Amino acid sequence: MITGNLEYVICSLPNLSFQDKDEERSRVFSILKKYAGPSEVEKSIIFILEEEASKFLSLKAFRIYQQIDLKNIHSEAFQKSKNTVLAAFSTYIFSLKTDVQQMRISRKNGVDSSTTKKPLLPLVPGTPMEEEIQLLKWQWKKLEELSVGHYADFGALCLYKLKLLILLRLWSFDQKRGFDNFLNITKKD
Amino acid at 169: R
Considering Cα of 124, then 127, then 132, then 134, what sign does the dihedral take? negative
**How many Å apart are CA 72 and CA 99, to the nearest integer?**
17
Q: If we measure between CA atoms, which residue out of 61, 102, 53, 96 comes closest to residue 82?
A: 61
Distance separating alpha carbons of residues 89 and 126, to the nearest angstrom = 26
**Which one has a higher pLDDT value, 189 or 52?**
52
Total-model pTM? 0.86
pLDDT, mean of residues 147-154:
89
- Which pLDDT value is given to residue 2? 44
Euclidean distance between CA atoms 132 and 68, whole angstroms: 20
Per the model's pLDDT, the better-predicted residue between 114 and 22 turns out to be 22
Predicted local confidence at residue 3, as pLDDT: 45
Report, as an integer, the average pLDDT of 37-55.
82
What is the DSSP code (8-state) at residue 57?
A: B
Q: What is the mean pLDDT of residues 71-89?
A: 95
pLDDT at residue number 176:
80
Q: Could you tell me what percent of the chain has a pLDDT over 90?
A: 54
pLDDT, one tens digit per residue, over 23-37 is 999 999 988 888 877
Does residue 103 sit in helix, strand or coil? helix
Which of 41-45, 51-55, 111-115, 182-186 is modeled with the greatest confidence? Answer: 51-55
Q: Are 71 and 169 in contact (CB under 8 A)?
A: no
Q: For residue 69, is pLDDT > 70?
A: yes
Q: Is the pLDDT of residue 112 over 90?
A: no
d(CA 95, CA 99): 6
Residue of higher predicted confidence among 40 and 9: 9
